[in-house]
Structure 1
Amino acid sequence: MNSAKRAAVALLSAAAFTATAVGTAQAAGRWQQVPVPTGSGNVLAMTQIDQHTTWGAGFRLITDGDSTTLTPLLLARDDRAGSAWKRVATPADGANSRINALSADGARNVWLVGDNDSATDGSILTEHWDGKAWQTASASVPDGTLSAGFLGVATVGPRDAWAVGWTQRMRGDDSYETGLIEHWNGKAWQQIKLPAAVPDTELFSISATGPRDIWAGGVLTDGTDQPVLLHYDGHTWTRATVPNTGLYGEFNTVVAAAPNNVWAAGRTLVDDKDRGHPLVAHYDGHSWKTVAAPGTGVVNAAAVTPGGVTVVGYDKTTSQSYGEQLDGTGWHSLNLPTVGVDSTPYSLSVNSSTVTVGGVYTPDETSPFQPLILTASR
């Protein structure tokens, strides 16, 4: 089973989309498509860095003849200045990488993380914003790494951040992928050993309520294709017990609001013919329990919202965007529109007044894919 999260940050092409569901951003009424000031690309991550400012990040696809290159993309919107998004320059502009994830502990402590680059000795791209200036910091990878990247990052404090992802290496004549955890100690990124009880895995997301309460999620790559959750208590990473979710599955996103309010979401497959059902689980401070979610599809991003959680993703069965919100009265559809001939949400930000969804869409059957941002009032 291919990982849904890795597919989200893979090199996309227009041929990867099925041109079946035609719609407009106005189809849902309250949703509005916001112009994105760049060409072909994808908005893979989103977060609010202060009360008024939201950042979105991902990559631009640069085509030059027969060659294509991915370069980082960072966008910002200040609601005091209207609804427009603006490009933000960083030192990594032009690098052969992407921004796969971002995390903020206020407007003066923001981390962006991406992939490794052979031009920089194979180290992984990370960038830090302190409110005034950018700093680049390379994260080393294990010896023998063929490819690697961070897919999640959690900013805990001024000298404390965690990032998770994957590495691809060789075992004999075969390549294999396993998880990567690194910690920023204020001076450098340090590789952290995975728990002994965790076999080969990929880690897609990480979230923290504090330095002694951090969760990471992903999928086992040992052939079982089972979802996995790890927890850090300030001293040790351990593997958490995950409820039975189906034949296969993965957690693409983990969001923690409090030690007794953590959500993980992704996809589960009930049999070999299943194209995916949303997988949602909640931790109440004692144990993880699955929460039945409506419909079919895969969850790519989540946000903790009053009384529950909001999730977005894509439904391969219906070729429609997937979006649901759970509160004290149950699940409610976000009625996400399909923009162009196809669109897929990969990122989400929710504040007291606005829901913002980022991702990718294909305008028509012949045009390259474009970055997508949708907004709606709450």
Structure 2
Amino acid sequence: MRRSVPPPHPSRRAFTFGAAALLGAAAVPALPGAARAGARTGGWTTQPVPGAQPDTMINAIAAPTRRSAFAVGVESGAAGRAPVALHWEDGAWRRVPVPAGVVPDLVDVAARTPARAWAIAQSSAWTDDPLVLRWKGGAWAAAEAPVGEWVALDLDRSGRPWMIGGEVDDHLGPRAAVYRRDRTGWTRLLHGPLAEAFTAISVRTSSDVWVGGYGSLRHFDGQTWTERTIPDPSGYAHWVLQIEHVSASEAWFLTVLTHPLDMTARLVRWDGTGFTAHRLPRPSSDVGTRSAIGFLGSLTTDGHGGAWVGDGMYRTLRHFDGTTWTVADVPMQGANQIHTLTRIPHSRMVWAGGRLPYTLRLT
């Protein structure tokens, strides 16, 4: 059984082109500060978003270095929904314009260097408006792209963008798809049934790529796509929501089961030979019997063997050190709705953003 619950706003975690959105979840109150037993201390600070509106939403952050970062999202103003694009430089965020006509919902951004970044927008309908942006000469420019509804992207070591989403094939109809851009343009590398709903991609190199979606997980070695199965005693498949590479032999996955009655999120580790799943603990306030992160969940590694998870349902930031879960001590705990987490390479510094008038940074 699959139930469709439309997300309140489209984002890289809100698939819109026909696949089911997150399995239904009951409304849950924010986790009170007093319930944060064993909170992990340290280092989270707020970095204001200039001119933030009450509904400003940061969907994705890319931080190639300590001194440079990019953030994208959407907000509503007097003229309606508008894209948000930010650039971190000189210790503060500044707004940067996007080309006219770009679809407002900027949902993902990726960058390998301060001079090389890509971003995508998502539309709830097929459109010829620009959906892909390229950071060029210190500004965003529209880039040619296949017609489709794109959900997420990543860059390989050469800086080439890979993106996932859906398109309509002239012969096969609606299909989930994976594309890579080369010097000659975009090349489709994988087609799958639309029901797979590719929702997560992580690219380490052009021969080490993970793609996941509804009941599906595949790895690309540069020539062949291999299906992988995350086992579960229930026999139900995992819906892969987020993927984070650690190395050629290690990766983390944030998932929920496709089981209609078990929406507990899992943090799953791949060690090169098999998977180990860890259930996210329920809040200590013990509301209800089910826990879900869903499309508001975010994931990044911590740089020393563990992972950070942004819990959009209970509005907490959690840390897993490989054995123990703790709840981070962040400003305005319980009021934060985290949509994105990213770690600065070769460091333990982490950025977080979401439906907030600021971003969070762990230093």
**Shared fold per TM-score greater than 0.5:** yes
Task: Determine if the alignment matches structure 1 residue 322 to structure 2 residue 316.
Answer: yes
Q: Closer, same or farther in 2 for the Cα pair 1:269/1:32, shift >3 Å?
A: farther
Aligned to 1:283: 270
Amino acid at match of 1:73: V
Identify the structure with bigger relative contact order (alpha carbons < 8 Å, sequence gap 6+).
Answer: 2
Deviation at 1:60, TM superposition (A): 2.3
As a proportion of its length, which structure holds more strand?
A: 1
Query: Do 2:45 and 2:330's aligned partners in 1 also have CA atoms closer than 8 Å?
Result: no
- The counterpart of 1:34, out of the listed 44, 47, 51, is 47
Deviation at 1:218, TM superposition (A): 1.5
- The counterpart of 1:136, out of the listed 129, 136, 142, is 142
Task: Determine if the alignment matches structure 1 residue 265 to structure 2 residue 254.
Answer: yes
- The counterpart of 1:212, out of the listed 207, 214, 233, is 207
Specify every segment of 5 or more residues in structure 2 that has no aligned partner in the other structure, as ranges. Answer: 16-25, 283-290
Q: When the two structures are aligned, how many residues end up with a matched partner?
A: 327
Query: Do 2:10 and 2:105's aligned partners in 1 also have CA atoms closer than 8 Å?
Result: no
Task: Determine if the alignment matches structure 1 residue 359 to structure 2 residue 354.
Answer: yes
Q: Closer, same or farther in 2 for the Cα pair 1:125/1:45, shift >3 Å?
A: same
Alpha-carbon distance in 1 for matches of 2:151, 2:233: 23
Aligned to 2:160: 160
Aligned to 1:373: 359
Aligned to 2:62: 47
Amino acid at match of 2:57: N
Question: Normalising by the residue count of structure 1, what TM-score does the alignment of the two structures yield?
Answer: 0.73
Amino acid at match of 2:119: L
Trace 1:1-378 onto structure 2 (pairs within 5 A): 1-2=3-4, 9=11, 20-21=29-30, 31-37=44-50, 38-39=52-53, 40-64=55-79, 68-69=80-81, 71-78=82-89, 81-82=90-91, 84-91=92-99, 95-116=102-123, 122=128, 125-130=131-136, 132=138, 134-141=140-147, 148-158=148-158, 160-167=160-167, 178-194=175-191, 200-219=195-214, 226=215, 228-244=216-232, 247=236, 249-268=238-257, 271-272=260-261, 274=262, 276-295=263-282, 296-298=291-293, 300-305=297-302, 306-315=304-313, 320-336=314-330, 342-351=335-344, 352=347, 354-361=349-356, 371-377=357-363
- Residues 82-104 of structure 1: CA distance to partner in whole angstroms, max 9, x if unpaired? 3x321122325x52332211111
Query: Do 2:59 and 2:108's aligned partners in 1 also have CA atoms closer than 8 Å?
Result: yes
Aligned to 1:14: none
Question: Normalising by the residue count of structure 2, what TM-score does the alignment of the two structures yield?
Answer: 0.76
Alpha-carbon distance in 2 for matches of 1:336, 1:297: 21
Deviation at 1:337, TM superposition (A): 5.5
Aligned to 1:223: none
Query: Do 2:315 and 2:333's aligned partners in 1 also have CA atoms closer than 8 Å?
Result: no
Alpha-carbon distance in 2 for matches of 1:337, 1:290: 29
Alpha-carbon distance in 1 for matches of 2:46, 2:142: 32
Amino acid at match of 1:161: P
SS in 2 for 1:193: strand
Aligned to 1:222: none
Deviation at 1:171, TM superposition (A): 11
Q: Closer, same or farther in 2 for the Cα pair 1:216/1:248, shift >3 Å?
A: closer
- Residues 147-179 of structure 1: CA distance to partner in whole angstroms, max 9, x if unpaired? x4222111114463210123479999xxx9642
Deviation at 1:106, TM superposition (A): 1.4
Alpha-carbon distance in 1 for matches of 2:60, 2:255: 15
Deviation at 1:208, TM superposition (A): 1.4
Deviation at 1:249, TM superposition (A): 4.7
Specify every segment of 5 or more residues in structure 1 that has no aligned partner in the other structure, as ranges. Answer: 12-16, 142-147, 220-225, 362-370
Identity percentage over the alignment?
Answer: 21
Aligned to 2:286: none
Query: Do 1:280 and 1:292's aligned partners in 2 also have CA atoms closer than 8 Å?
Result: yes
Q: Closer, same or farther in 2 for the Cα pair 1:41/1:171, shift >3 Å?
A: farther
Amino acid at match of 1:43: I
Deviation at 1:376, TM superposition (A): 3.8
Deviation at 1:347, TM superposition (A): 0.4
Amino acid at match of 1:207: S
Deviation at 1:45, TM superposition (A): 0.6
